[in-house]
């Protein structure tokens, strides 16, 4: 079989790409051009692959399952909000490929019947002296591990019990140990949320990913409030 002419098609542009002639490879989970020279598909021409190890990335950083509550000043201001949809798809594809399409914590894959998907999550290092929140790792998590990691959001969505049970099941913690762990995580969150953090995404820019400027500190609280309403209403 001839080598595929791969395309970079964001999810929200899949219908336009399909109408322009793109086809879907269910095994690679990626769109491609059926033949060379289809001008209508040029906007989605694939860019060079992102390296499997990002510059300065530490894949041992933030290992295991733990509650990792992002400071309120940075809610909903993350990698996905700072990169284009096309670059996000490139990052996500690299992340899933290097993880073997399995959760890097519990080892499970996607299961449509169980509504379990694979998702990208950021691991951050916090420089208290400079108030800098620096990206140190991208990790592939399943829906259950991701929900547990974002325990505060799980509470908002009414899914805290499921997140708590998953934390115990994966880590082997007793309920008392898990409860203490959650309390410590939120104590750290309260302390970190007293300041406004500057995002350091140089790990991505050094890999050739173009970033948009993150929202200013004055806009973040409003964005977070709007997003929380949507998340609470979705209940997923």
Q: Is residue 67 part of a domain?
A: no
130 and 220 fall within a common domain: yes
Tally of residues, the chain: 236
Collect all residues with Cβ–Cβ distance below 8 Å to 24 and sequence separation of at least 6.
Answer: 18, 30, 31, 32
Measure the CA–CA gap between 66 and 183, rounded to whole angstroms. 12
- The pLDDT score that the predictor gives to residue 233 is 57
- The pLDDT score that the predictor gives to residue 65 is 98
90 and 198 fall within a common domain: yes
Q: Is residue 57 part of a domain?
A: no
Q: Is residue 208 part of a domain?
A: yes
Q: Is residue 108 part of a domain?
A: yes
Q: Is residue 84 part of a domain?
A: yes
Measure the CA–CA gap between 59 and 53, rounded to whole angstroms. 8
Measure the CA–CA gap between 200 and 189, rounded to whole angstroms. 19
34 and 132 fall within a common domain: no
Measure the CA–CA gap between 84 and 87, rounded to whole angstroms. 5
Nearest to 107 by CA among 165, 172, 170: 170
- The pLDDT score that the predictor gives to residue 89 is 87
Q: Is residue 145 part of a domain?
A: yes
Host domain of residue 110 = 72-234
Residue 177 tokens read as 């140990």
Contact status, residue 140 vs residue 123, Cβ threshold 8 Å: no
Sign of CA dihedral 226, 231, 234, 235: negative
Query: Does residue 73 have a pLDDT over 80?
Result: no
Contact status, residue 88 vs residue 210, Cβ threshold 8 Å: no
Query: Does residue 107 have a pLDDT over 60?
Result: yes
Q: Based on the structure, what is the number of domains in the chain?
A: 2
Lowest model confidence (mean pLDDT) among 53-62, 85-94, 211-220: 211-220
pLDDT-based confidence at residue 139 (cuts at 50, 70, 90): very high
120 and 221 fall within a common domain: yes
15 and 80 fall within a common domain: no
The residue-averaged pLDDT of 172-194 equals 96
pTM comes to 0.84
196 and 109 fall within a common domain: yes
Query: Could you give the strand order of the β-sheet that contains 132-142, starting from the edge strand earlier in sequence?
Result: 118-127, 132-142, 198-200
Q: Is residue 33 part of a domain?
A: yes
pLDDT-based confidence at residue 143 (cuts at 50, 70, 90): very high
200-228 pLDDT, tens digit each: 999 999 998 988 766 555 555 555 455 54
Q: Is residue 55 part of a domain?
A: no
36 and 108 fall within a common domain: no
Collect all residues with Cβ–Cβ distance below 8 Å to 180 and sequence separation of at least 6.
Answer: none
Measure the CA–CA gap between 43 and 21, rounded to whole angstroms. 12
Distance of CA 223 to the CA centre of its chain: 18
């Amino acid at each position: 079989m001839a080598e595929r002419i791969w395309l970079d098609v964001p999810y929200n542009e899949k219908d336009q790409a399909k109408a322009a002639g793109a086809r879907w490879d269910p095994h690679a989970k990626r769109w491609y051009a059926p033949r060379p020279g289809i001008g209508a598909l040029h906007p989605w021409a694939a860019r060079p692959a992102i390296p499997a190890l990002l510059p300065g990335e530490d894949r041992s950083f933030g290992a295991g399952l733990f509650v990792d509550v992002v400071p309120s000043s940075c809610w909903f201001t993350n990698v996905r909000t700072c990169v284009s949809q096309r670059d996000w798809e490139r990052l996500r594809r690299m992340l899933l490929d290097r993880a073997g399409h399995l959760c890097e914590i519990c080892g499970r894959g996607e299961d449509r019947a169980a509504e379990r998907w694979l998702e990208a999550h950021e691991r951050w290092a916090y420089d208290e002296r400079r108030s800098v929140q620096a990206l140190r790792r991208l990790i592939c998590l399943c829906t259950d591990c991701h929900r547990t990691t974002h325990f505060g959001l799980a509470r908002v969505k009414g899914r805290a019990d499921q997140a708590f049970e998953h934390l115990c099941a994966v880590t082997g913690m007793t309920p008392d140990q898990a409860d203490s762990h959650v309390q410590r995580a939120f104590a750290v969150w309260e302390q970190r949320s007293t300041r406004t953090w500057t995002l350091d995404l140089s790990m991505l820019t050094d890999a050739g990913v173009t970033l948009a400027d993150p929202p200013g500190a004055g806009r973040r609280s409003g964005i977070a409030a709007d997003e929380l309403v949507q998340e609470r209403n979705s209940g997923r």
